[in-house]
Amino acid sequence: MRIPKITKRSGRHIWRRRALFVLGCLVVAFLLVVLIDSAVYNNKVHAGITIAGRSVAGLTRDEAAIRVEQSVKEAWGTEVTLKSGSKTWTITPADVGLKVDVKTAVSVAMDITREGNLLTNLGRRLKLLSTDEDVALQGAYDGNLMARVLYAVAQQLDLAPVDAGIAVDGDDARFLEGRKGLLVDRATLREQLKTALLTFRPVEITVPMRVKEPTLVVEDHRQAVEDAGSMVGGPVTLRSGDGNQWELTPEQIGAYMGFVSDDNDGVSTLGVFLSADKMSPFLKEVAAKVDVEPVDARFKTSGGKVWVELGKMGRALDFEATARALTAAALSTTDRTAKTVMIEVEPDLMAKEAEAMGIRTRLSTFTTKYEGTPERQTNVRIATEYTSYVILAPGEEYDFIKQIGPRTAERGYQLAPGIAYREMEDVLGGGICQVSTTLFNAAFFAGLKIVERKNHSIYIDHYPKGRDATATSNGPNMRFLNDTKHHILIRGASDGITTTFDIYGTDDGRKVNHSTGDFYNKTRRAVWEIKASWLKPGVTRIRVTGQEGRSIDVLRTVTAKDGTVIHEDKFMSTWKMITREVEVGVGSTTTTTLPAPTADSEPGATPAPTTGTTIP
C-alpha cells in the first residue's frame, strides 16, 4: 500500500481550514453572547449602568424611574456641607427648593446602549461588562431660595475691597492704603452646590472665593493729604442768587469727601473733591429753596376764541456743578464762599409746540343745569375739574372714568343722591353723571366719534331725551375719540349747578345733523301695595318710586366739508319698567302680602318722585 506524500503546501491548507473553523466558532459564540445580551436587556437598562450611584441594571423604564424616585425620597434629608476655615453650613435639597428630573435621567440611562449605530452600541455593551457608567441626575432649584443660601454664606465671608482714601480727624488728614477684597464666588458655588445636592450623598465643598481689586489704587497721595487738610480747615459758605445762604462745617466737609485717581505724568495720583452723591441730602435741601418750576404754555379761551399764553422757563440746581464750586471754595485759602449753579428747565409744552397743535376755534359747546343738594354740587365741581383742560392728540381716546379717577372722600367727593339699582341713594360722588352727560353732548355736536355711551337706568327728564350718559367705575363708561387731524382741547367749567363743556380745535368743516324720535316700547308702571302692619290704617309710604318702561332713538349724521359722511350713528336708550312699591297701613300684625301689581299711569307719563327724593 502506497502512503500519499504530504507536502508543505497541503499542510498549510489544513492549518488554514482549522483556523477558519476556530474563528467561525468564536464568531458564532460572540453572536450568541450578543443575542443573549440583547434578549436579557430588551427594553431594560443595561448591566453596569447606575443613576446617581444607584444601580438600575435590568430594570424597565418605569421600574428604573420608581427605584430612583424611591432612592431620592429616602435620601431627601442628605446634607451638603459648605466649609470655609472654621465656618460650616449644612444645606439640604429642600433649602434650595430642588426639583429632580428623574424621567430625563432614566431616558439617558436607557439610551446609552441604544442611541448609536450597531457597532457603537456593541462597543458600549462590551465595555459595560467590565466598567460601570453612572448617569448624573438632572434638576433645577428655586432661584430665590438658592440666592438666599448664597447670600447667607457671603454675609459671613465677604471682605469688601477698600479704596485708597483719606481719613479726617478734626483738622488732621492722613492717607488710608487701599486693600483687595475677597468675595464668595457665587456663580461657581451655585453650580457646585447644585451638582452635589443632585448626588444625594454627603458631600463637603470648600467655599470658592475670588479676589476683587479696589476701584481706587494710587501711587502718589501727598498732594491729596495736603488738600484734604486745607478743605477741613474751616467752614464753607454756599450762596444763592436770591440771597439765601448755607454753611458747611469742617465735619460735614470731611464726610462729603470723595476720591479719584488722576494720571499725573504716568503716575496714578490721588485726588480729593466734594462728592455730589454724598452731599445729595444737603443739595436737595438747597434745591427746595432755589428751584423754580417751569410753567407750560396754556390755551386761554373766551367764548369761541382761543389763544396761547406763553409758558415760563424754570430753573433747577445743578448738583454736580455746585459740588465743584464748593470743592473750589474749600480748597481756597482766601475766599471760602461758593455760589449755587443753576440750569434752565424747559416746560413740557412750549408756545411754539402749542401753536402747532392747531387748537384755534371752538368746535362745540354744551350746557346743563340742575341745582341739587350742596353735596351734589361739590361732586359736580370736582368731577368737572378732573375732566377739564385735557388735550387729545389725533387718534387719542378720551376715557371719562379714567379721567375722573377714584371717587373717594380723600379726593373731596361727598355723599349725594345717585342711582343705585331701582332708587336714588346717597353714594360717594353722586351727581357726576351731569358731567359725563354734558361732555357727551359736547363731543356729540363736535362731530367726534363716540366710542361708548349708555343711558341711565332711571329716566331723568332734565337731560336731553336720549342723550344722557351714565358712567360708573365697574360698569358703563363714556368714551370718545379725536378722529380729526389736529389736537383738540376740552375745557369744562361748573359752579355745581350750571356745567358747561367746550371743545376747541381746527374747524375742518364738519356738520352735525341729528333727530330725536318718539318714545316707543312703552310699558305702564305697575304698582304693588304691601299690607304693612307697622303703619296705621290709612297711612301709605312709597318704598320704591318705580317708573314706566320706554325706549327712544337719536340719530346723528356727521358730514365732511365735501358732503362725505364721516359718522352715521344711532344712539338707543332703553329704560326698563320698575314697579312702584307702596306700603299701605293696616294697623294689625297680620302677615304682609304682596298682591299682583296694577297699572297706575298712562304710557308716557313721568312718575312723580317720592317726597324728599332728589333726582340728579
- Of 248, 255, 289, the C-alpha closest to 275 is 255
- Distances 550 to 268, 440, 457, 521 between C-alpha atoms, Å: 89, 22, 11, 5
Q: What is the pLDDT of residue 605?
A: 37
> What's the pLDDT band for 34 if we cut at 50, 70, 90?
low
Query: Residue 612 has what pLDDT?
Result: 31
- In the predicted model, what is the mean pLDDT of the chain? 83
Are the CB atoms for 169 and 45 separated by under 8 Å? no
- What pLDDT, on the 0 to 100 scale, is given for residue 19? 62
Distance CA 365, CA 495 (A): 17
Residue 558: other Cβ atoms inside 10 A:
22
For every residue of 517-549, DSSP letters joined together read ---EEEEPPEEEEEEETTS-TT-EEEEE--B-E
> Can you point out the beta strands (E) in 146-218?
165-169, 172-176, 181-184, 203-206, 209-212
Per mean pLDDT, which range of 141-145, 163-167, 524-528, 569-573 is the poorest? 163-167
Nearest to 545 by CA among 531, 530, 574, 525: 525
How many Å apart are CA 212 and CA 185, to the nearest integer? 10
Q: Note the pLDDT of residue 310.
A: 86
The candidate with the shortest Cα–Cα distance to 424, out of 543, 529, 528, is 543
Q: Tell me the pLDDT band of 614, cut-offs 50, 70 and 90.
A: very low
> Which runs of E-coded beta strand occur in 347-387?
361-369
CA distance 594 to 532: 10
Question: For residue 93, what are the CA distances in angstroms to 64, 72, 75, 96, 97?
Answer: 21, 10, 10, 6, 6
> Minimal CA–CA distance to 125: which of 32, 23, 63, 41?
41
CATH architecture of 222-354: Roll (3.10)
Tell me how far apart the alpha carbons of residues 409 and 431 are, in angstroms, rounded to a whole number: 15
Cβ neighbours for 184, distance < 8 A, ≥ 6 positions apart: 150, 153, 154, 157, 158, 207, 208, 209, 210
More confident residue, 270 or 3: 270
* Whether residue 132 has pLDDT greater than 80: no
**CATH 3.10.20 residue ranges in the chain?**
222-354
Q: How confident is residue 609, by pLDDT bands cut at 50, 70 and 90?
A: very low
Q: Please state the separation of Cα 491 from the chain's center in Å.
A: 32
Q: How many angstroms separate the CA atoms of 153 and 205, rounded?
A: 13
Residues of the chain with pLDDT > 70, as a percent, come to: 80
